[in-house]
Structure 1
Amino acid sequence: MKLINLKWQQLILSLGCLLLIIACKSFYPTNKPDAVPLRVATDPTFVPFEIQKASGDLEGFDIDLMNALAQPAAGIAKVAGFAVQFENLPFDGMISTLQAKRVDAAISGITITAERLKTIAFSRPYFKAGLAIAVREDNQNIQDFNSLRGKKIAVQIGSTGADFAKTIPNAKISTFNSGPEFFQDLLNGNVDAVISDAFATLYAIKNGNLKGIRVVANLLTQEYYGIATPKDSPHLDAINKGIGILLSNGTYKQIYQKWFNADPPQLPNS
């Protein structure tokens, strides 16, 4: 009799453990071995949005945001069970890679533009930015768009800064793969100004010990970054829901304050 009761107790205990395991797996979808990998392209030269440390690990505002979206408690993992896998890719190759669907998404300070929306899709805006002019500290002649006329301008290949520079009358444009390269050319006197993202430029000057460079007070543009995906992406709805969750639960604000030491501005829904 005692033997039978013992067997029943063991059976009940086993069933209880099984139910607990099932419940845990349902609540934490990213712990599932079959979690869907989300291949995300990024260019780790766009400081402070993407940075590759000496160890090879990635960090930065965009990286923190994407990792937050993958958390089961609040993000795309909760919606669709994704496991984010970053892939390093030069910025000027991201649009074509998305068009070919060789990655599922891209995050690298990619500005939402009407031209890009013709070939790829974007999430709701996750960052308010703008283009700025950087010059040497001793340059007092360049103050705004009009004073860039006929000047030697440095830009990053494939960026909105590169597109904007084309509108400057008689400008001589030099293109570079990354920020450190064009800032060095500016310091060396090979170009008169750099047109780049305002936040990235200010961060680079402050943390990269770029003495001798300043940012002109007047921003050239106002723009928004989005997470880029191929057209008709099955993941876009989940990504948008995840961004909404991070904005509403305070996680986005924490990430923003970590990298920019300021409260984030209001963002539009679309």
Structure 2
Amino acid sequence: MKKLLTIVLTAALALSLTAMAQAKKIIVGHDTNFMPFEFKDPDSGKYVGFDIDMWTLIAESLGIEYELQPMDFNGLIPALQSGNIDAAIAGMTIKSEREKVVDFAYPYYDAGLMILVRSDNEDIKNLEDLEGKVVATKLGTTSEDFVKKNAKAKDVSLFPNIDGAYMELATGGAEAVLFDSPAVMYYAQTAGKGKAKVVGPLYMGQSYGIAFPAGSELREKVTIEILNLMESGKYAELYKKWFGTEPK
């Protein structure tokens, strides 16, 4: 009987530990193409970038098992609300409309919006010059809200991925792209080098945050880990790896 009881208790403990391990595994949504924060490496086929690396450090420190779920940016908040994902890291701007329905951890990146034009364009130098022009940006983003409210554009072309906006600019379908500063600067220095340039000042300073379903217990834990990364110097190392400079 003692042996049988030991076997039963051992089996029960094993099942309990397995259940706990499974419970720890979370689904983390991220954007499919937002360089240099997240994008698919053509060689490995895996998603890489600043956001991916930072989440890896956070999860390792917290002992969280997770699965990355790439998806269109404008589907992330609905997925958080419905419980289909447990967190979202996608260069997501913290703004009041979003904070009404999801919770954000401590801001991990300060950015803004900038204008990208073709390298031979001398007509567009600032927001006022977008009047009467076709401007491309990404669907469901702060950039979309800003350009519609503040630029007197003839038309705003929206794309599920920012690569579509860059292509529209390159082929002449749009005269400018207005989007997040780190993304447009990265594009101008890499795939768009010699073909596109950034013009004008930084508009609408904003911060990115990792989002969670309202009331998630993970938010506070992740906030603490973000602060730990910043205090330990690991955040600065990661920042320099992807942006080439020290964080401001």
Percent of aligned positions with the same letter in both sequences? 35
Say if 2:144 is the partner of 1:162.
Answer: yes
How far did residue 170 of structure 1 move? Answer: 4.6
Say if 2:194 is the partner of 1:206.
Answer: no
Contact 1:154–1:191 (8 Å) recurs in 2: yes
Say if 2:160 is the partner of 1:177.
Answer: yes
C-alpha separation in 2, matches of 1:118 and 1:33: 31
* 3-state SS, counterpart of residue 205 of structure 1: helix
C-alpha separation in 1, matches of 2:26 and 2:223: 14
TM-score in terms of structure 1 length: 0.80
Contact 2:77–2:102 (8 Å) recurs in 1: yes
C-alpha separation in 2, matches of 1:164 and 1:195: 9
In structure 1, what is the equivalent of residue 15 of structure 2? Answer: none
C-alpha separation in 1, matches of 2:102 and 2:194: 39
TM-score in terms of structure 2 length: 0.87
Which residue of 127, 147, 151 maps to 1:145? 127
Residue 39 of structure 1 aligns to which amino acid in structure 2? I
Aligned pairs for 1:10-159 (under 5 A) are 33=21, 36-54=24-42, 55-72=44-61, 77=62, 81-159=63-141
C-alpha separation in 2, matches of 1:138 and 1:34: 55
How far did residue 33 of structure 1 move? Answer: 4.8
* 3-state SS, counterpart of residue 166 of structure 1: helix
C-alpha separation in 2, matches of 1:37 and 1:131: 35
Residue 36 of structure 1 aligns to which amino acid in structure 2? K
C-alpha separation in 2, matches of 1:61 and 1:110: 13
Report how many aligned residue pairs link the two structures.
227
In structure 1, what is the equivalent of residue 217 of structure 2? Answer: 234
Contact 2:81–2:102 (8 Å) recurs in 1: yes
C-alpha separation in 1, matches of 2:247 and 2:99: 25
Larger Rg: 1 or 2? Answer: 1
How far did residue 151 of structure 1 move? Answer: 1.3
Residue deviations 1:3-53 (CA, integer Å, cap 9, x gap):
xxxxxxxxxxxxxxxxxxxxxxxxxxxxx9557112110012001100112
In structure 1, what is the equivalent of residue 203 of structure 2? Answer: 220
C-alpha separation in 2, matches of 1:99 and 1:158: 16
* 3-state SS, counterpart of residue 194 of structure 1: strand
How far did residue 121 of structure 1 move? Answer: 1.1
Residue 77 of structure 2 aligns to which amino acid in structure 1? I
* 3-state SS, counterpart of residue 131 of structure 1: strand
In structure 2, what is the equivalent of residue 244 of structure 1? Answer: 227
Aligned Cα root-mean-square deviation (Å):
1.5
C-alpha separation in 2, matches of 1:112 and 1:135: 27
Structure 1 residues 35 and 258 mapped into 2: Cα distance closer, same or farther (>3 Å)?
Answer: farther
How far did residue 205 of structure 1 move? Answer: 2.1
How far did residue 122 of structure 1 move? Answer: 0.7
How far did residue 159 of structure 1 move? Answer: 1.0
Gaps of 5+ in 1: 1-31, 266-270
How far did residue 241 of structure 1 move? Answer: 0.8
Gaps of 5+ in 2: 1-19
Q: Which moved more, 1:40-49 or 1:168-177?
A: 168-177
Contact 2:112–2:206 (8 Å) recurs in 1: yes
How far did residue 231 of structure 1 move? Answer: 0.7
